[in-house]
Amino acid sequence: MSLWSRARMPGPREREEAPAGGSGWALSPGVTAAAIVAMVCLVAAFVMSRVELVLVAAPLLLAAVLGWSSRPQAAGARTSVAIGGDDPDGRVRVDAVAEAEGGVDGVHLRIHRADREPEDAVVTPANAARLRFRVAVSHSGPQRILSIAARGIGPDAAWTGDPGLPAVAERVVRPAAQRVRSLPLPARLLGLTGAHVSSRPGDGGEFRDIDRFRPGDRLRRIDWKATARLAQRPGELYVRRTTATSDAAVQLVIDARDDVPGAVAGWAAPYPRPGATSLDLAREAAVSLAGAYAAASDRVGFDDLSDARRALPPRAGARHLSRVLRAVELTTAHGSATERARAPRLAQGAVVFVLSTFLDDQAMRLALTWRAAGHRVIVVDVLPPRSVAELPARERFALRVVDLERALRLDRLRAAGAELLEWSSPDRDATLRRLATPRRRP
């Protein structure tokens, strides 16, 4: 997978700095506890006339006084990150710098990486100035590669600074496009130019028939052999007619309201797990189909069911293809199901690819609406192969209910005339060849 930085992110060697921690410093609980214990021991020594308690309180009180007097004057620490190159194993190198100021003995780091839960580390100022991370990127789309926040630790850990805003390294990961050898087409091709053979007569296509010369026919289409064989009277000419070529209108509709991994136990996990998710498969399918149709000079459009403002009408050209690919790359899960008041309008005679997990009814209802309007609808199942190894018996029973509801939705779509394509299936190419085969009209 190729990696593309976001427009607002720094370049490969530029650094994004976060403001330093606040000027306020908090006294360590250890210093406060030492002062309290020393005072208790002094009071007990006075009341009980025990000299040894004074010997216990003296070093504690001295440590508390030294800690109180060692309050740093500077703001603490600031962080900056710089995205480096990519390692051969697919990991991203991120260089981080945590600059400590003014008598700071240590730096406390809070590190958020894309491939694991947050981590805490305490390093010296010298080590904080040269940090390097190698972060595995296993998902496509916009994601936070690394987030790191730092706060200073005063002498003997007596004072801790306020943490500043974290420095963030983000990237948009482009999904790898798969080769699509067969392209399903609409039932009727309404475009005027393109690479597909239509049913209407015109120039540029396959042989259609031989007919008499009529006004408007081109002289270069006269078939002299057929004229010599078929002409019945002088001046009668015959021309060779061909079918016209046309383009198709394709609409890619992604259901980006949720993003679920293959491991069912991770559907509610706060941090992503390794492995392809449903949106990873949806982005891969959309990029692959858009590139294949654009290579055939077809018009490609895009729509996101979670955000109507990101819709792109079907158009042709390399510049429009770049906009569609960029829209697919920036597709991310919104986490909330928003109901569409009305189905998005499509180009006349378009073939619609609905890429969804079909875990709820909205994508199914829109697909049925488009099918009733006469469009050819191909539902692309992007739910990854599931693993139930970590599920208890109660959650496995709930998953069976979800599977039954999902199967009913897919059966209803097939009964309405929609066609099913499972993107993660090993028989994907065979299914595409079957869908691309011209269907005979009854």
Asked whether residue 364 falls in the same domain as residue 416, the answer is yes
> What is the CATH number for 392?
3.40.50
Within a domain: 189: no
Q: Per-residue confidence of the chain (442 residues) as pLDDT tens digits? A: 433 333 333 343 334 445 544 456 777 787 888 888 888 888 888 888 888 888 888 888 887 787 777 777 665 666 777 776 666 666 777 877 777 766 677 888 888 877 677 888 888 888 877 888 888 788 888 888 888 888 888 777 777 777 777 888 888 888 888 999 888 887 766 645 555 555 555 555 555 666 677 777 777 777 677 777 777 778 788 777 765 566 788 999 999 888 888 888 777 766 666 778 899 999 999 999 999 998 888 889 999 888 778 889 888 889 999 999 999 999 988 765 556 666 677 777 789 999 999 988 888 999 999 999 888 999 999 999 888 887 888 888 888 999 999 999 999 999 999 999 999 999 999 999 999 887 654 4
SS3 151: strand
Beta bridge partners of 81: 16, 96
357 in Cβ contact with 381 (< 8 Å)? yes
Is residue 7 located within the same domain as residue 138?
Answer: yes
- Is residue 399 assigned to a domain? yes
Q: Give yes or no: residues 41 and 97 share one domain.
A: no
Q: Rounded CA gap, 95 and 82, in Å? A: 5
Asked whether residue 48 falls in the same domain as residue 90, the answer is no
User: Is residue 208 a part of any domain in this protein?
Assistant: yes
Q: Could you identify the residue written with the tokens 């899960």? A: 333
Which residues does residue 147 pair with via DSSP β-bridges, in sequence order?
112, 168
| Secondary structure (3-state) at 34 | helix
- Does any domain span residue 224? yes
Q: What is the C-alpha to C-alpha distance for residues 79 and 98, in angstroms, rounded to an integer?
A: 4
- Residues 242 and 254 reside in one and the same domain: no
**Bridge partner residues of 351 (DSSP):** 250, 376
Q: Which residue has the tokens 């955000």?
A: 307
Domain annotation covers residue 49: yes
Look at residue 355 and tell me if it is in a domain: yes
DSSP states of 322-389: HHHHHHHHT----SS----SSPPP--TT-EEEEEE--SSSHHHHHHHHHHHTT-EEEEEE-PPPPB-T
Is 365 in the same domain as 399? yes
Left, alpha or beta for 349 (phi > 0: left; psi -120 to 50: alpha)?
left
Dist CA 247 CA 299 (whole Å):
7
Q: Are residues 292 and 401 in the same domain?
A: yes
* Shared domain check, 82 and 33: no
* Residue where a domain stops, chosen among 69, 92, 125: 69
Question: Exposure pattern of 187-196 as b/e (b: 16+ CB <10 Å)?
Answer: eebebeebeb
The answer to whether 171 touches 284, Cβ cutoff 8 Å, is: no
Residue 34 counted as domain residue: yes
Q: Which helix (H) or strand (E) holds 311?
A: strand 307-315
Residues 165 and 125 in one domain: yes
The CATH number of residue 152's host domain is: 2.60.40
276 with 404, same domain? yes
Q: What is the distance between the alpha carbons of residues 325 and 24, in angstroms, rounded to a whole number? A: 47
Residues 387 and 264 in one domain: yes
Helix, coil or strand: residue 124: coil
The number of residues in the chain equals 442
Query: Which distant-in-sequence residues (6+ apart) come within 8 Å of 290 by Cβ?
Result: 250, 252, 300, 302, 321, 324, 325, 328
Residues 208 and 254 in one domain: no
Domain containing 236: what range? 199-246
Pairwise CA distance, residues 180 & 260, whole Å: 25
| Both tokens assigned to 79 | 């962080």
For the chain, how many structural domains are there in total?
4
pTM recorded for the entire structure: 0.73
* Residue 133 lies inside a defined structural domain of this protein: yes
